[in-house]
Structures are given as structure tokens and as C-alpha cells.
Amino acid sequence: MKNFPSIKKKADFQEVYRVGKSYANKELVMYVKRTQDPGQRIGISVSKKVGNSVVRHRVTRLIRECFRLNQERLTNGLDIVVVARIAAGTANYKNMERAYLHLCGLHNINRESK
């Protein structure tokens, strides 16, 4: 199994927060920073306000799955940090994917459909 392209270092998260542009909706906040790297990386942050560890881990898995299934739609050279809001704790996959794709559209990081 391949390694998942994720942001792990605190300095990388801070760089995306500082330099990146952010948009938000009810469930998520998304920060995007353009890079010179060929692929995309995602960092996920879910605070204790969202719920207990089971809920937080479920939200993380939902966001990671949204990223994985829609990764080919995104342009290359992106560092993305997704921060879950409290409403994400009760959201199902369909709502989470809708929120994720909505923010991708606001950031204008979708590839042009051909």
C-alpha cells in the first residue's frame, strides 16, 4: 500500500496557515497553498470541540476519503489543510463530500473538465 500524501510536520501546517488562502462553510475550513511539488498533500485538523476520540477519528477518515476519491479532480502542486468545525461531528459522508467539493470550487483548484 502506498503512503498517503499527508502533511505531518507542524512547520508545514504553520506555513499553509500563514501563506495559504482560506475559505469556510458550515462543516469545514480549507486552507490552500500552491507549491512547486508535482502532487497534492493534505493535512487534517480536528479539535476536541468536535467530539470524543471516536468522533474525531471518524471525521478524519471521512475527510481523508473525500480527498482520496477526488484527488484526480484537483490541480497539481497543492498543500491543503482542512480544519473540521463542530458541525462536522454529526455529518455523514455525503454532506462531508459536498462541503469538501464546495470549498475546492471556492478555491478554484478543480481541473478544467475536458
Taking only the tens place, the pLDDT of each residue in 48-77 is: 999 999 999 999 999 999 999 999 989 999
- 5 assigned to some structural domain: no
Dmax over CA atoms of the chain, in Å, equals 43
In the chain, which stretches have pLDDT less than 70? 1, 112-114
CATH number of the domain bearing residue 62: 3.30.230.10
| 112 belongs to a structural domain | no
Domains identified in the chain, total number: 1
- Contacting residues for 112 by C-beta, under 8 A, at least 6 apart: none
Tell me, yes or no, if the pTM score tops 0.75. yes
Distance CA 60, CA 43 (A): 10
Residue 113 lies in a domain: no
What is the reported pLDDT for 114?
Answer: 38
Residues with Cβ within 8 Å of residue 101, at least 6 apart in sequence: 66, 70
Structural domain boundaries, residue 52: 10-106
Q: What is the pLDDT of residue 110?
A: 86
Instruction: Please report whether residue 63 resides in a domain.
Output: yes
Strand runs (DSSP E) across the chain, as ranges?
21-24, 28-34, 40-45, 78-84
- What DSSP state is assigned to residue 90? G
Q: How far is CA 99 from the centre of its chain?
A: 10
pLDDT at 61: 95
